[in-house]
Copies of this chain bind each other. A is one copy, B any other.
Amino acid sequence: MEEKDSEFFMRKALEQAKLAYEAGEIPVGAVLVSDGKIITKAHNQTELLHDATAHAEMLAITSGCAHFNSKYLSECSLYVTLEPCPMCAAALAWTQIKHIVWAASDEKKGCSLYHPGLLHPASQLEKGILGEESTELLKQFFKERRQKNF
């Protein structure tokens, strides 16, 4: 049951990543879930907003905080299609989020490459749900981008 739920929410995050892809953004999507319900959906918008901080996770956090009128998301789960970067990991730590699930690992910029204390010690982690689909989407995006540049 739990596994099915995780896959359901990650599929919603992947739909967000596909929206990013179609908009020419690096395809990363996220959904924030509380009490079994999706509170907010977001995808990377760094190009559209010309804002280095507009990662899917950051937009989901800001939107989730607005929803709950709180700096804390300690009852929430974040499903994100790519391992958070250090900025997003540290932002998630500030929110004291309960549960973080990511699909693909990021071997170049993922928070695992940095200090383990970037994430909050109380946050439960789950990795690899729909990881192959997310990786495939990212590979396809960068392949197309390279082809356009030549």
Chain A residues with CB under 8 Å of chain B are: 46-47, 49-54, 58, 61-62, 65-66, 68-73, 85-87, 89-91, 93-95, 114-115, 117-118
Instruction: From known contacts A51-B62, A52-B94, A52-B95, infer whether A86 and B71 are also in contact, taking CB-CB under 8 Å.
Output: no
B66 & A52 in contact (Cβ 8 Å cutoff) = no
Residues of B within 8 A of A65 (CB): 49-53
CB within 8 A of A58: which of B50, B53, B85? B53
Bound: A50/B72 CA distance, A = 8
Residues of B within 8 A of A51 (CB): 61-62, 65-66, 71
Smallest Cβ distance from A1 to chain B, in angstroms? 31
Most buried by B among A53, A93, A114, A117: A53
CB within 8 A of A94: which of B53, B91, B115, B118? B53
Residues of B within 8 A of A50 (CB): 65-66, 68-71
Bound: A68/B51 CA distance, A = 10
Bound: A123/B87 CA distance, A = 16
Closest to A84 in B: B90
Smallest Cβ distance from A100 to chain B, in angstroms? 14
Bound: A58/B90 CA distance, A = 13
A91 & B52 in contact (Cβ 8 Å cutoff) = yes
Residues of B within 8 A of A66 (CB): 49-51
Smallest Cβ distance from A84 to chain B, in angstroms? 10
Q: Which 7 A-B pairs have the closest CB atoms?
A: A87-B90, A52-B94, A86-B90, A114-B115, A51-B65, A52-B71, A52-B95
